[in-house]
Structure 1
Amino acid sequence: MQIIELLTPHYEAAWLPWAVQYFFLAGVATGAALLVSAFSFGAEASRMRRLLPAAVLTLAVSSIAAPVSLLADLHQPARFWHFYAHFTPWSWMSLGALLLPAFVALALAMCAAWWLGRIGWMRLLAPVLVLSALSITLYTGAEIMVVRARPLWNTIWVPVNLALSGWLATVGVAFILERFLPAHQRPDAAALQLLRSIGLLLAAAMVLVALVWAAAGMAGINPSFDAALRLAELFPVWRAGMLASALFGVAVVAALVRGKWRLDRRGYTLVLGLGLSASAWAFRWALFMSVQGVPKYGSGLYLYHMPLGSDGLMGMLGVLGLFIALVAAASWALEAWPARRQGLPAAMA
């Protein structure tokens, strides 16, 4: 009897925490782009228009912070330049180097149109911005899905869940940022109820997707489901993580449902917004960092230990600091700029 032992070397994580920040902010930005585009077609005094300032602030901050996170993950400016000097159309990363700047430019143009009170311009930009946002959604999801060596990534459900969870985070970030708007631009309880309804629809869609993913796995047509079950069975850390994710998801959905009676309490909207944002961020952490702990070949599990320097904790805090600085700058600018320039209803100005 011959025994052959296979040894799997331990590789460093290819996707660093910077990637978690980027994919989180990119999801928030695309969701905000869709909200701003839709709200720009609302009647002047409608709930949609009252939510427009919060959606625009979310779009402006996230569309600037997201590419900064990506550049930090690329480490070397030359690597970014190579996407243009050596364009490879079969690479989603290379396509993203074209799609992302176009999206950022359109997002900032939409924010500028709102700033100048040009609702007509916003409605002209809206269809193009929607297409651009969907292209970013496709590219970020496909960039992960094409990795065939990892069954947990190589499935259509990854880009779908990235999109839905990112847009749900948009609702959460909007709940947080609306409190930093000037008093005359903050949405009232009725407008916040509309935002909550959007969150409920997205949460319901995520539950439906999870059920379809599980059904496809049990039918034998979705290897990623079998891989997830195997990890949960063999490794307690994955089992605990999946259980914690399920319980946290139930708590977030319950908070959305409960919000029907509590959205007039500002503290509740803050907790709800943080919960929605944290759930989307945690999904990306598990998707990028935890999945890389599973060897592509062989057996075992590598536990990732986050470094404290720029490749880990300090880098994440840096992105958070940039986000806070952008919110502070935008809040100051909105306070200093006359309300009439933002195309607000007269009753709100």
Structure 2
Amino acid sequence: MQIIELLTPAYEAAWLPWAVQYFFLVGVATGAALLACACVFGAPGSPSQRVLPALLLTLAVSVVAAPVSLLADLHQPARFWHFYAHFTPWSWMSVGALLLPVFVTLSVALLASWWLGRPGWMRAIAPLLVLSALSITVYTGAEMMVIRSRPLWNTLWVPLNLALTGWLATVGCTLVLERFLPTPLRAGHAGLQLLRTLALALAALLVLVALAWALSGLLGHNASFNAALRLWQDFPVWRLTLLGSAVFGALVLGALLRGQHRLHARGYTLVLGLGLAASAWAFRWALFMGVQGVPKFGAGLYLYHMPLGGDGLLGMVGVAGLCVALVALTTWALELFPARRTAA
């Protein structure tokens, strides 16, 4: 009798939790930039102008925290420098190293223009920032889509889902951060209603995209859908993360649909905002970390346990702490330097 022992090699995860933080924060930043640029052209006193300070606060926090997460994910500062010293135009990661500094610079310029009370400068910067935000959306989505070894990722539906969930998280973060602004800069009922309408529109688009993705898969035009079905049937690690994300998203959608008359209820916007942001984050966790527990080829599982140090839990707590510190610093600046304590 011959006994054959099968061993599963231990592979390190290619995408660490730092990548989840980066793709979440950069999605929030692009959404905040696009919405802020649209609000720049609103009439004085309009709902879009009322919600502009909260959107700019969301942009200020996310556009600083996102590159920090990216640098942490690269592990070595020299690796970031190599993108410029050895530029490879066929690599989306290398292209993104050029696009991201432009996006950060234009975002800071828009924030500075608002602080200085220069609406003309903001309107001049806005079209450039829109193009830059869209370029970041394309690059981050394509960075996953080009991975052919993962059929679930190798589809155009991934960039679309990343964009829509990221922009939903923008609305959620704005609902949360709006509460920390001085009273004259708060969005008011009209501004909150505008944010709720934006969230409903984005949620409807996300549902349509999901249905189109499923339909194209059933018609045999999308290998990503078949890969998702296989993962669902054969791998509990994927089933658990996806199910949790879907259930949480459905609960948030229900809260959105029933919240028309609760915008000023105590804690409602806080819970709704946190729910929208958490749903987008959970989707990225399922997409990045859940899938990596499944082998690219063959059978078995890749055993991954999230470390408690800087590459895992401590890193995520650190990013959250950085965001809290940025919110505190920004609101402190509004109180200490009253140049922008009133809405335009």
Instruction: Report the TM-score, using the length of structure 2 for normalisation.
Output: 0.96
* Residue number in structure 1 paired with 2:343: 344
Q: Distance in 2 between matches of 1:200 and 1:259?
A: 11
Shift of 1:249: 1.6
Shift of 1:68: 0.5
Q: Distance in 2 between matches of 1:34 and 1:312?
A: 31
* Residue number in structure 1 paired with 2:203: 203
After superposition, the Cα gap between the structure-2 partners of 1:296 and 1:235, relative to the gap in structure 1 and judged at 3 Å, is: closer
Q: Distance in 1 between matches of 2:5 and 2:309?
A: 37
- Give the aligned residue type for 1:232: W
Alignment deviations for residues 145-197 of structure 1 (CA, whole Å, 9 cap, x no partner): 00000011101111100000000000000000001101111110111000000
Q: Distance in 2 between matches of 1:104 and 1:267?
A: 32
* Residue number in structure 2 paired with 1:246: 246
What secondary structure is seen at the aligned counterpart in 2 of 1:229? helix
Q: Distance in 2 between matches of 1:31 and 1:302?
A: 34
- Give the aligned residue type for 2:123: R
Q: Distance in 1 between matches of 2:252 and 2:112?
A: 34
* Matched-pair contact (CA < 8 Å) for 2:237–2:290: no
Out of 308-317 and 236-245, give the one that drifted further.
236-245
* Residue number in structure 2 paired with 1:228: 228
* Residue number in structure 1 paired with 2:182: 182
* Residue number in structure 2 paired with 1:22: 22
Q: Distance in 1 between matches of 2:264 and 2:303?
A: 43
User: Where in structure 2 are the equivalents of 1:274-285 lying within 5 Å?
Assistant: 274-285=274-285
* Matched-pair contact (CA < 8 Å) for 1:114–1:343: no
What secondary structure is seen at the aligned counterpart in 2 of 1:261? coil
Q: Distance in 2 between matches of 1:235 and 1:292?
A: 11
* Residue number in structure 2 paired with 1:143: 143
- Give the aligned residue type for 2:47: R
Q: Between the two proteins, what is the percent identity of the paired residues?
A: 72
Alignment deviations for residues 293-334 of structure 1 (CA, whole Å, 9 cap, x no partner): 111111123343100011111111111111110000001011
* Matched-pair contact (CA < 8 Å) for 1:116–1:342: no
Q: Distance in 1 between matches of 2:19 and 2:97?
A: 15
Q: Distance in 2 between matches of 1:246 and 1:77?
A: 37
* Residue number in structure 1 paired with 2:218: 218
Shift of 1:337: 2.4
- Give the aligned residue type for 1:344: A
* Residue number in structure 1 paired with 2:130: 130
Out of 134-143 and 236-245, give the one that drifted further.
236-245
Alignment deviations for residues 181-222 of structure 1 (CA, whole Å, 9 cap, x no partner): 011111101110000000000000000000000001111111
* Matched-pair contact (CA < 8 Å) for 1:92–1:142: yes
User: Where in structure 2 are the equivalents of 1:1-349 lying within 5 Å?
Assistant: 9-339=9-339, 341=340, 344-345=343-344
Q: Distance in 2 between matches of 1:134 and 1:301?
A: 36
Shift of 1:276: 0.2
Unpaired segments ≥5 residues, structure 2: none
- Give the aligned residue type for 1:16: L
After superposition, the Cα gap between the structure-2 partners of 1:6 and 1:197, relative to the gap in structure 1 and judged at 3 Å, is: same
Shift of 1:6: 8.7
Q: Distance in 2 between matches of 1:180 and 1:161?
A: 29
Q: Distance in 1 between matches of 2:40 and 2:266?
A: 25
* Matched-pair contact (CA < 8 Å) for 2:189–2:264: yes
Q: Distance in 1 between matches of 2:308 and 2:293?
A: 18
Instruction: Report the TM-score, using the length of structure 1 for normalisation.
Output: 0.95
Q: Distance in 2 between matches of 1:136 and 1:342?
A: 31
* Matched-pair contact (CA < 8 Å) for 1:21–1:316: yes
Out of 93-102 and 289-298, give the one that drifted further.
289-298
In the alignment of these two chains, the number of paired residues is 341
- Give the aligned residue type for 2:89: P
Q: Distance in 2 between matches of 1:173 and 1:25?
A: 10
- Give the aligned residue type for 2:63: S
Q: Distance in 1 between matches of 2:122 and 2:110?
A: 6
- Give the aligned residue type for 2:254: A
Shift of 1:280: 0.4
After superposition, the Cα gap between the structure-2 partners of 1:19 and 1:50, relative to the gap in structure 1 and judged at 3 Å, is: same
Shift of 1:76: 0.5
Alignment deviations for residues 208-256 of structure 1 (CA, whole Å, 9 cap, x no partner): 0000000011111111111111111122343333333222221111111
Unpaired segments ≥5 residues, structure 1: none
Alignment deviations for residues 64-119 of structure 1 (CA, whole Å, 9 cap, x no partner): 00000000111111100000000001100100000000000000100000111111
Out of 47-56 and 248-257, give the one that drifted further.
248-257
* Matched-pair contact (CA < 8 Å) for 2:96–2:139: yes
After superposition, the Cα gap between the structure-2 partners of 1:164 and 1:49, relative to the gap in structure 1 and judged at 3 Å, is: same
* Matched-pair contact (CA < 8 Å) for 2:11–2:303: no
